[in-house]
């Protein structure tokens, strides 16, 4: 903040207390956001509604067994406060929550500790770090990349610019796939081939694969991605949560590495890139300028990877395809993806599931046999 809250730099004197740092930083980032909005308005470039990653309340973690029904209900309630109504338009990362999250990263304090230590001296030896983080955030960088962390399904994940930041709506897909896993495990025939297998296609940070392996230790998990960098991040997250020995990581395009490895999956889950290529320049800058294009670009209409996935599966007989499949989709895409899924003829039931904002978000295929 050169002067008071100016977005062209952060050079104010070291704040005396944590509270003063919070006030200064909030003013600085609000000014930066206002300047960015003015520049967009002058350029006539409205941002489109593929949201920046939502923020849980700063400094709080959702601990405990996320696989229980109570925890799942808590996650739904938590996400309900973070996902905007369908007609609310684009969302930016809330300034005050960003600052609180950065303060939690700086101090290591929980929310309760912060409330009790609000007036303690600001650690002057961390001033350069603090200033650099605020400058990065003022340029639009997601706070998750600044801290290198994001929480997903009650677990803390390492995230880098090589991977898409996990979103809360994907937690609902995991919840549904956990239900399918339990249904499959109850069938006597499921034990004939040994441990059941879930395949996470396009794993990115490994959020889905690691959460599933953590919650269902009797399952084996295969995680694929075309990006070597993303696989390294996913592997580090598997090690962080003690599930690396039960996750096999494969590099390749969609279903291809699974087929080449001769893996017979019981469940397939995927959150593939689904943004139409022409929409990417109009995305919020937190997404457009920082998250990997490889994880966003879904081709001309956003459906290219779904078509390719089903084309790759087409040469397999029904009994060689998974008993359940769950795919995340973008706005207005679920019915088209459901049509592709029905066209393959591998699943007797194809359902569309709405997210907490009411949008048709997930497409689920089930074969009861």
Supply the pLDDT for residue 47. Answer: 56
Q: What are phi and psi of 197, to 5 degrees?
A: -130, 130
Tell me the pLDDT band of 5, cut-offs 50, 70 and 90.
very low
pLDDT (mean) for 118-127: 95
What's the predicted TM-score (pTM) here? 0.84
Supply the pLDDT for residue 36. Answer: 74
CA distance 73 to 311: 36
The residue extents of the domains of the chain are 18-142, 169-366
Q: Are 196 and 222 in contact (CB under 8 A)?
A: no
169-366, what's its fold? Rossmann fold (3.40.50)
pLDDT in tens, 48-106: 555 556 544 333 334 433 333 343 344 334 333 333 333 233 334 588 899 999 999 99
Q: For residue 157, what is the DSSP state?
A: E
CA distance 342 to 336: 10
The fraction of the chain above a pLDDT of 70, given in percent, is 80
Supply the pLDDT for residue 215. Answer: 97
Higher pLDDT, 178 or 194: 178
Supply the pLDDT for residue 69. Answer: 38
Supply the pLDDT for residue 86. Answer: 31
pLDDT in tens, 280-318: 999 999 999 999 999 999 999 999 999 999 999 999 999
Supply the pLDDT for residue 10. Answer: 55
Supply the pLDDT for residue 39. Answer: 63
For 155, the token pair is 């677990």
Supply the pLDDT for residue 368. Answer: 85
Residues in the chain, total? 369
CA distance 204 to 226: 9
How many CB atoms sit inside 10 A of residue 365's CB? 24
Supply the pLDDT for residue 313. Answer: 96
Mean pLDDT of the chain: 85
pLDDT (mean) for 122-150: 96
- Match 């489109």 to its residue by tokens: 48
pLDDT in tens, 21-47: 999 999 999 998 888 776 666 556 555
Tell me the pLDDT band of 230, cut-offs 50, 70 and 90.
very high
């Amino acid at each position: 903040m050169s002067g008071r809250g100016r977005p062209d730099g952060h050079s104010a004197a070291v704040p005396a207390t944590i509270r003063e740092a919070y006030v200064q930083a909030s003013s600085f980032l609000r000014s930066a956001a206002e300047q960015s909005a003015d520049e967009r308005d002058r350029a006539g470039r409205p941002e489109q509604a593929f949201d920046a990653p939502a923020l849980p309340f700063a400094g709080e973690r959702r601990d405990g067994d996320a696989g229980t029904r109570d925890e799942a209900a808590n996650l739904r309630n938590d996400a309900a406060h973070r996902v905007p109504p369908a007609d609310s338009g684009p969302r930016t990362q809330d300034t005050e929550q960003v600052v609180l999250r950065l303060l939690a990263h700086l101090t290591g304090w929980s929310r309760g500790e912060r409330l009790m230590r609000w007036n303690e001296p600001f650690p002057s030896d961390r001033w350069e770090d603090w200033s650099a983080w605020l400058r990065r955030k003022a340029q639009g960088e997601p706070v998750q990349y600044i801290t290198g962390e994001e929480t997903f399904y009650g677990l803390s994940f390492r995230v880098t610019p090589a991977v898409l930041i996990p979103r809360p709506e994907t937690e609902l897909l995991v919840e549904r796939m956990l239900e399918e896993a339990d249904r499959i495990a109850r069938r006597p025939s499921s034990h004939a081939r040994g441990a059941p297998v879930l395949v996470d296609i396009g794993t990115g940070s490994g959020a889905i694969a690691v959460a599933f392996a953590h919650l269902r230790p009797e399952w084996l998990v295969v995680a694929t991605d075309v990006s070597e960098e993303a696989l390294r991040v996913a592997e580090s997250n598997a090690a962080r949560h003690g599930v690396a020995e039960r996750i096999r990581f494969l590099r390749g395009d969609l279903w291809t590495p699974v087929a080449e490895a001769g893996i017979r999956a019981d469940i397939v889950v995927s959150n593939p890139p689904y943004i139409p290529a022409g929409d990417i320049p109009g995305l919020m800058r937190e997404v457009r300028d920082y998250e990997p294009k490889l994880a966003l670009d879904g081709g001309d209409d956003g459906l290219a990877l779904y078509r390719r996935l089903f084309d790759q599966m087409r040469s397999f007989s029904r009994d060689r395809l998974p008993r359940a499949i769950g795919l995340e989709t973008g706005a207005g895409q679920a019915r088209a993806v459901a049509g592709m899924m029905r066209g393959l003829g591998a699943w007797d039931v194809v359902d569309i599931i709405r997210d907490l904002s009411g949008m048709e978000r997930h497409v689920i295929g089930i074969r009861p046999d």
